[in-house]
Structure 1
Amino acid sequence: MTYALLLILAHFLADFTFQSDKLIEGRKSHENKVRRKALIKHAFIHFVTYIAFILVGMIFIQSINLLNILSLFVIVLLITVTHFEIDAAKYHLDQQVTSQKWKAITFIGDQLLHILIIVIPTLYLMESNIISNPAANYWLSLLILFYLNTIVASHFLQIVLGKIAPPNTFEQIVEEEVDRQEPNQEESLTHTVVTKSKTSYPDSHHKIGRYIGMLERTLIMMFVFSGQVMGITIILAIKSITRFKQFDDKRFAEYYLIGSLLSMIIGIIFGYLASRL
């Protein structure tokens, strides 16, 4: 199981951390030549990352022999080629999908397919011949859960919440009836006064909201892992204080509530999974 976990961790790093925004845009390009070049570069990054992690695994597990090297090379080559084909197919699928719900389902399905293609051949060709390392398995599993809870969850939430994010400007209209009596009139006249106020909330620093979310889910995961679930309320209270004025905007309040609840649920799930290792 150790090699399978190493390759899964390598996959997530290559798919998210080692992938630049420019490369992501290239993979989404409508020009076949540009898109194909970006997909090849992305697959090559995966190949190099897999090889690096496999070499580290061989050193620590002390399983360096010709048979293992050949088997792992075949596995890595198979994973890399299929990764390229899956990503190429996903581009065409994304062109047909418009709703955020199906985009989120496609994202999860894509990652699950990649993981299955890593796990099945690795367990079939390698694990029966190599003694697994329980300590390494534990820490690798914990690292994978942490990465899923932070980086991967951020991308997932960005997809889910992408179209419901409110604008940064909140306009409030207040109508007020005022009685006013003119000097030459016996009865007072009622006038309606309309007051408009506009409040702007400047954009935060690039990706700062994503980093706050990752820290939030990390703390939630730690609280659940250690059995201190009540600590989650402190996080939500601190987070709410920083956005208190924006709650006057109903759209923002709903967006904030959905995002916070989803983030909290994800943190709790991965905290529970980590506690069960």
Structure 2
Amino acid sequence: MNAYLIFSLMVLTHVLCDFYFQSDKCVEDKKYDGYRPLSKLKRFLIAHLLHAFYHSVAIAGVVFSWIFLDSGIKKCDAITCVNALNVLKVAGIVLASHFLIDVLKECISYKYKNYKASLFVVDQIFHLGIIFWVATSFFYAAPYQKISSNIYNELITGVVFIVALLVLIKPASFFITLFISSKTIGGSPGEIKMTKSVLASAYYADLSKIYLDTDDNSLNNLGVTLEKSKTKAESVISYLAAQDLNVDSKKAFLSNDAGKWIGYIERSMIFIFFIFNQAAAIAVIMAIKTAFRFNDLKDDNDSTRSEYIMIGTFLSFFITMIIAGIADFSIKSIWDGVEYKMLDFNIMAFFSKYIL
């Protein structure tokens, strides 16, 4: 085994701990909403500290397993106090860095709400940078083992494949949601303010629907009746609008998460077809999606909703192609001896010697 494998395993652990093994309560407690009251700040810091601790324990477990397997079952004496100290160093570095990076990201996101998507990307780059630094600093210096058995190649290939799929499911979905909502592109705000115009539009729309169903004998009095109704409605609307009412959009617009799962399946299928060089299958998927979207919007004059769907579709496809391209290059590098040596040895050595 080598630094390439341990780096891949640490990235896999990071993705699982950051996006899949967190409870909803932990996610809510980690959200920063100012310093008041003090109890919320305490809960905020404790939630981040616990998350960073679990993260560090998982990473340390992967590191210890690597040391044990790399030394060989019959060479247990190779796991010395020095190696144990390295495991503790890795755990401490991951704990401190993850806690600080996440807390800073939440605090900055609270102040710059329109840049949450960008801050999310920067946050993940810092996390991966720390993991890369740990892998090159603690494990690249270990005796280099030339991989002669296909079992190691298959192991690294499997890890890369799983990491790419996991990134395309929840992390990609989370980023797309942040990007659209932070820029308010077709997205719904957390709360809808019940202004006078909103109430009036809702009332008049319902009122018009009622009077459209009236028979011909009632049309003579329609104008008078409608004017009286509007006068009464104005007083009610003015009163309600003055109460500063808000409606929770999550409760007002319930979702069965079907769109989310469609995105998961779509990105996974495109990724797999890309890895196996099935461009025609990717084209079929996009054609089917386009046909369904066109049928859904052909009678809809809401340009904002159309733009929202287009941006989400293009962004999802773009992210999938980037991740698939990186995974494809990594997998081919593993199985190509020349490219593998260049990727694993020269780049790692350069960062270890001249940068880290």
Q: Structure 1 length as normaliser, TM-score?
A: 0.78
8 Å CA contact 2:32, 2:110 repeated in 1: no
Q: Is 1:145 matched with 2:164? A: yes
User: More displaced, 233-242 or 211-220?
Assistant: 233-242
Q: Is 1:69 matched with 2:79? A: no
Q: Is 1:21 matched with 2:36? A: no
CA distance 1:245–1:203, shift in 2 (3 Å): farther
Within the candidate set 56, 81, 85, 2:100 is matched to 85
CA distance 1:3–1:27, shift in 2 (3 Å): same
Query: Which structure has more helix as a fraction of its residues?
Result: 2
Over the aligned positions, Cα root-mean-square deviation in angstroms equals 2.5
Within the candidate set 267, 288, 291, 1:238 is matched to 288
Match of 2:185, as an amino acid?
A: I
Within the candidate set 255, 264, 270, 1:214 is matched to 264
Deviation at 1:241, TM superposition (A): 4.6
**1:186-209: per-residue Cα shift (whole Å, max 9, x none)?**
xxxxxxxxxxxxxxxx7431x332
8 Å CA contact 2:55, 2:95 repeated in 1: yes
Q: Which residue of 1 aligns with 2:179?
A: 160
Within the candidate set 44, 48, 51, 2:60 is matched to 51
Structure 1: runs of 5+ lacking an equivalent: 174-201
Give the whole-Å Cα distance in 2 for the aligned partners of 1:81 and 1:90: 14
Query: What does residue range 1-277 of structure 1 map to in structure 2 within 5 Å?
Result: 1=3, 2-30=5-33, 31-62=40-71, 65-66=79-80, 67-99=82-114, 102-131=115-144, 134-135=152-153, 136-162=155-181, 163-165=184-186, 203-205=254-256, 207-243=257-293, 244-247=295-298, 248=300, 249-277=302-330
8 Å CA contact 1:166, 1:251 repeated in 2: no
CA distance 1:209–1:69, shift in 2 (3 Å): farther
Give the whole-Å Cα distance in 2 for the aligned partners of 1:86 and 1:36: 12
CA distance 1:109–1:166, shift in 2 (3 Å): closer
8 Å CA contact 1:75, 1:122 repeated in 2: no
How many matched pairs?
243
Give the whole-Å Cα distance in 1 for the aligned partners of 2:6 and 2:165: 18
Q: Kindly, what percent of the aligned residue pairs are identical?
A: 27
Match of 1:211, as an amino acid?
A: W
SS in 2 for 1:127: coil
Deviation at 1:8, TM superposition (A): 1.6
Structure having the higher Rg: 2
Give the whole-Å Cα distance in 2 for the aligned partners of 1:5 and 1:43: 19
**1:172-220: per-residue Cα shift (whole Å, max 9, x none)?**
x9xxxxxxxxxxxxxxxxxxxxxxxxxxxx7431x33222212111111
Deviation at 1:86, TM superposition (A): 1.2
Give the whole-Å Cα distance in 1 for the aligned partners of 2:317 and 2:278: 14
8 Å CA contact 1:27, 1:39 repeated in 2: yes
CA distance 1:74–1:166, shift in 2 (3 Å): closer
Deviation at 1:226, TM superposition (A): 1.4
Structure 2: runs of 5+ lacking an equivalent: 34-39, 189-201, 206-252, 331-356
**1:210-239: per-residue Cα shift (whole Å, max 9, x none)?**
222121111111122111112122222333
Give the whole-Å Cα distance in 2 for the aligned partners of 1:142 and 1:62: 26
Query: Which structure has more strand as a fraction of its residues?
Result: 1
8 Å CA contact 2:180, 2:187 repeated in 1: no
